[in-house]
Structure 1
């Protein structure tokens, strides 16, 4: 699906190039897959939030290799072992991307220019994806994946700068919901049986399923909270989402000092 035109979005658009070339020239590499969710905070008397946008892109930097404990699954004569780690890179203040584990969002993470005229008080671009590779060792196919949950700064904006606490909390909760859906996806992949023949297609199928789950949660949150204008409903969502993240052992992102 084509990416919608946005102010200051050219760095983001450049990320979306070259996925087939990258995947096709690296033996054993799984196809990187990312989708994008657009969330909008609506002012009390105006409009509805934009719908989600799906597209693909790949980060160009080399990812570190992780090791960990996986669950071997028999697939004919070959055992499939999946290692699915979370992204751990340190924050780069110059980067257009903020990863969920690095910290909570702040006013500085809204670098985009508002569309004018518009109904939204703020818009955040969040998503999750995965990248990785595989290699054979004797009778075992080991698949190593890295989960990435991120916020795109150049595509996120607010009409009021700096944004008030209500705006920051609402958009951070959208980011939390993205992290929750991503964790559900990660655990699904670790739990499901895979074979050497179908592991790539099955993992990508589940990714799309959990991207749809993320969209459903985001839409339900905006509907029930009236896009941030119903404080009681929003507080109930905050308690629910953060409780579920804690139950899944997902750490709260640190607050920037």
Structure 2
């Protein structure tokens, strides 16, 4: 929780001389003409999220009077101008928002001629894009000092030093994190990974060179089902993105599998015709997986949208797989219609080769 320093800010009257607190305005400028090489960002917005007043605090001046301190053109515009003028103009890849969480100055009188003070700074840096800004990093620091009450010019140096430190910090942070921080990725590269996985008693992975056999059906037959056999097939997608020289690499493996422990066959249903019907259910899942790969390869991914778009493509394909399974069973009457079964054998053989015309028609018609 941020402390509200402004709750104690008042107009300070000096009854001895009858003067009223004044305002002193300072401009944020480059320190010693320092120009930094831009690490690839532009400050496009500054939000002063805590400040209730235009002043950032108060300092002592002549006659031991406390005067309010303001930034020329206000804190947001002052900071934005300072950052943009202090960076060498280069190609910028990232739009940055600063949220000013604290930027205050306060002083205590040490004697009639000396004041001690502290400048507090806390900035939150965010990456701006098409959606909500993404938090990158916070900068928090303070500068303590002592000065002659007559040297108000030192306040301007302290303010500029504090803001310069924040700029140097963030510019270095961008430079050091750009190659491996996912939030700073410039682009996304999708890679479909093909892996050969070994099947076992728990999971049988789809393999065109390894058709199903009845030993893959380990569950007990369902008492309430009239079918001779039942197979549980599905598809999954997994991958861990990583950064490579500023590019987000997204390797994705599409896994098609059946679960022996959830698949069963009755003793009197073990024949080649029934096994083919169950194999075709497995083929339907493979076709759905291939169509998912096509969807993924057609996506135009950006660092902002890649997660949502990839997940949408997966769930669309998952729903499509279930619809195809239901349509297949409805058309073949769970394999009882031999002519329909033969037709679907052909449809699926074509689809496995990438010819999806008949599959598209079946998806439109539904069950």
TM-score of the superposition, structure 2-length normalised? 0.45
Residue 120 of structure 1 aligns to a residue whose secondary structure is: coil
Distance in 1 (CA, whole Å) between partners of 2:268 and 2:311 is 38
Alignment-derived partner of residue 240 in structure 1: 347
- Please show how residues 7-156 of structure 1 align to structure 2 within 5 Å: 78-91=186-199, 93=200, 95-101=201-207, 103-156=210-263
Q: Any stretches of 5+ residues in structure 2 without a counterpart?
A: 1-183, 356-367
Gaps of 5+ in 1: 1-75, 249-257
CA distance in 2, matches of 1:77, 1:113: 51
> Aligned to 1:129, what secondary structure does the other structure show?
strand
Whether contact under 8 Å (2:185, 2:243) holds in the other structure is: no
Question: Counterpart of 2:239 in 1: which secondary structure?
Answer: strand
Question: Does the CA contact (< 8 Å) of 2:228 and 2:268 recur in 1?
Answer: no
Of stretches 161-170 and 218-227 in structure 1, the one that deviates more from structure 2 is: 161-170
Query: What's the TM-score once normalised by structure 1's chain length?
Result: 0.63
Q: How far did residue 86 of structure 1 move? A: 2.7
Aligned to 2:271: 164
Q: Secondary structure at the match of 2:231?
A: strand
In 1, the alpha carbon distance for the partners of 2:262 and 2:252 equals 26
User: Which one has the bigger strand percentage?
Assistant: 2
Q: Which residue in 2 is equivalent to 1:205?
A: 312
Please say if 1:181 is aligned against 2:302. no
In 2, the alpha carbon distance for the partners of 1:158 and 1:200 equals 40
C-alpha displacement of 1:161:
5.9
Deviation at 1:229, TM superposition (A): 0.6
- Runs of 4+ with deviation above 6 angstroms: none
Q: Could you give the per-residue CA deviations for residues 32-75 of structure 1, whole angstroms, max 9, x where no partner exists?
A: xxxxxxxxxxxxxxxxxxxxxxxxxxxxxxxxxxxxxxxxxxxx
Root-mean-square deviation over aligned CA pairs: 2.0
Contact 1:107 1:161 in 2 (8 A): no
Question: Is contact 2:218–2:264 with CA below 8 Å preserved after alignment?
Answer: yes
Deviation at 1:87, TM superposition (A): 3.1
Q: Distance in 2 between matches of 1:184 and 1:167?
A: 26
Equivalent of residue 220 in structure 1, options 305, 327, 332: 327
Which one scores higher on RCO, CA 8 angstroms, separation ≥ 6? 1
**Deviations 1:75-123 (Å, cap 9, x if unpaired)?**
x9712100012331233x4x31010026110010010011224322111
Residues 189-225 of structure 1 deviation map (CA, whole Å, 9 limit, x = unaligned): 1121111122112111111111111112111111111
